[in-house]
Structure 1
Amino acid sequence: MRPTPPHIETLGRTMVRPKWIAALLLALVIAGAFAWLGQWQLERAVQSGHVVERATESVKPLNDVARVNGAATSVGDGQLVHATGTFAPGDYGMLVGRLNNGTAGYWVTARFTPTDKDKDGKTAQLAVARGWAPTEQKAKDAIAELSSQPATTVTLVGRLLPTEAPEAPKSGGDPFEMKDMSVAALVNLWHGLGDSDVYSSYLVEHGTPPAGLTAIYSPRPVEQATVDWLNIFYAAEWAIFAGFAIFLWYRVVRDAWEKQREDDEADYEAAMAAWAVARGSAPSESASGQKLD
């Protein structure tokens, strides 16, 4: 009798067998555990991250937070400070293209020499942005008025900010025109520094601005939250592991299904070969029913 072709079970039918349903439940439990670990790592990343909060609005002495002749510290960035000293009448300058509450204009800058010595016991120079003017002429008028005033001792209060990187002047433009509040560039324009130190940061003056200038808008620095990226990476790893647990179950079921199909096909081919051999070796019979030798 000719062998009956095997019934090839579908993959979906194989998946709903009791043993594979049980394996799926186990995979879901494992995936759930991995997902929980990922959520735990993510919560750790949020909890371990912290908002950088500094008391920037409490006025501190300049020398408590400012540095000289080196990179500015994050401690002094945005800090309100006070210092007593004098402005140098001959070292007023102007910066172009400075925004103040979204409006472009000009900053009037100055050199300020605090009376107190710096941490190295030396006289130090501080760059100060004294105010903003909407037009170049108003900025020049303010500079002329301030430069004519005698050097008197004043107490200065303002926000300490990190120096800006200087930019090269545009081709064909005024080589002496400055746009950035760069301490390094301003030092080259100041007179009679001698061996004085120079503060790495500059100050935006607060209070009533002089010579008809407008106060420069300098709000408190935005508090920043740090993030633990290592924990976030671990959380992503656990999520991948959870997905891999489900994929592994699918791969095992598919491999079992393919193996069963190959075995059934191999058994059928073997049965067909045996049937063909049996047919080929059977004795022939004549039409009258007699066997032929």
Structure 2
Amino acid sequence: MYRFLLSSRWLAVSVLALLAVAFCAFMGSWQLSRFQVRVDEHRSAKHDQAATETRPPVALSGVLPTARAQVPDGDSGRQVSATGTYDGGRQLLVPDRTLDGRDGFYVLTPLRVSGGAALPVVRGWLPGDASAASRAGSIPAAPTGQVTVTGALQYPETTDPSGATASGALPSGQLGVISAASLVNLLPYPVYSGWITATHPAAPLKAVPPAAPPNSGLDLKAFQNLGYTGQWFVFAGFVVFMVFRFARREAEARADAALGLVPQPAAADEEAEPAAPTPA
């Protein structure tokens, strides 16, 4: 019934189908390997971050020797110790920050260190609305005198969760993005590019966990690789299905023709002997 598969036409179709299936399987396996690489990189980044956070505190000058120095790669989350004096008069609130599923805000106070520059310190988090808390005067004042603060070093933020792109879009005394670029017009002295979250804030402030380093999570590209993997294997299955369908259709047509249910295929007509001419 399927002897026609040995014909030159069907052998050519079979070869092309096998090549197509092999190509789709190769591309699907390659996309899957790319997804696995991204997963391994994510796991490695999480492991490195955890190791960084457990290292003993280092002096601020050990990672940021000057205010213009950039946070070194791999030092996000590292425990840093800084000694200076809080500038409580220029304390800022960072609204629309979530902690443990609750809405609230950060309390950020510049810490003036030796040399005159300031290190932005998030002293902690409070629940509620920043503007209402500011009007009520319920924000804890910063400690006076010289203090030593230990906290997790953070990269400058580049986006504002609240949707504000500049401090001018927020009420006075509030900040949308924690970075030297956003603080340069608010503070009359140099500001470090990095900032820290205090490890042991005073009550009622709650400690802010360090943020994950940028590009350390499973991004959209990783899931695109996984999606492409599925697509290529679906293509391979589609090729097999279509070859099987066409072969079965032709087998059924030939069986019907053999039973006289349908006319013989054109190829059979061409091979048949010519009929004798009809006498005039």
**TM-score over 0.5 for the alignment?**
yes
Quote the RMSD (CA, aligned, Å): 4.8
Does 2:148 match 1:154? yes
Relative contact order, higher structure (CA 8 A, sep 6+):
1
CA distance, structure 1, for counterparts of residue 170 and residue 30 of structure 2: 56
Change beyond 3 A, Cα 1:70–1:233? farther
Shift of residue 213, structure 1, vs aligned partner: 3.0
Please point out which of 122, 126, 132 is paired with 2:125: 132
Alpha-carbon separation, structure 1, partners of 2:97 and 2:227 = 40
- The letter for the 2-side match of 1:126 is L
1:19 equivalent in alignment to 2:6: yes
Aligned to 2:258: none
Map 1:253-264 to 2 at 5 A: 261-264=265-268
User: Percent same amino acid at aligned positions?
Assistant: 18
TM-score, with normalisation over the residues of structure 2? Answer: 0.61
Supply the distance in 1 between the matched residues of 2:249 and 2:52 (Cα, whole angstroms): 63
Structure 2 counterpart of 1:85, one-letter code: G
Moved more, 246-255 or 161-170: 246-255
Question: Structure 1: which 5+ residue stretches go unaligned?
Answer: 1-12, 116-121, 282-293
Once residues 122 and 167 of structure 2 are traced to their aligned partners in structure 1, the CA distance between those partners, rounded to angstroms, is 23
Aligned partners of 2:109, 2:95: CA distance in 1, in Å?
Answer: 15
Q: Which residue of 2 aligns with 1:81?
A: 80
The corresponding residue for 2:174 is 178
Q: For structure 1, which segment, 46-55 or 243-252, has the greater mean C-alpha deviation from structure 2 after superposition?
A: 243-252
Q: TM-score, normalised by structure 1?
A: 0.59
Cα displacement string for residues 26-50 of structure 1 (whole angstroms, at most 9, x for unaligned residues): 7887677557645653563355332
Structure 2: distance between partners of 1:238 and 1:106: 48
* 1:65-122 residue CA offsets vs partner (Å, 9 max, x unmatched): 558548756523333332233322332222333333222233221112344xxxxxx7
The Cα offsets for residues 178-235 of structure 1, whole Å up to 9 and x where unpaired, read as 25243333332223x1xx3x3223221111x23x432233156396358597898689
CA distance in 2, matches of 1:92, 1:158: 19
User: What is the alpha-carbon distance in structure 1 between the residues aligned to residue 166 and residue 25 of structure 2?
Assistant: 57
CA separation of 1:25 and 1:266: change in aligned 2, threshold 3 A: closer
Decide whether aligned partners of structure 1 residues 129 and 245 sit closer, same or farther in structure 2, where only a CA change above 3 A counts: same
Q: Which amino acid letter does the alignment assign opposite residue 278 of structure 2? A: A
Q: Aligned partners of 1:238 and 1:266: how far apart in 2?
A: 41
- Structure 2 unaligned spans of 5+: 255-263
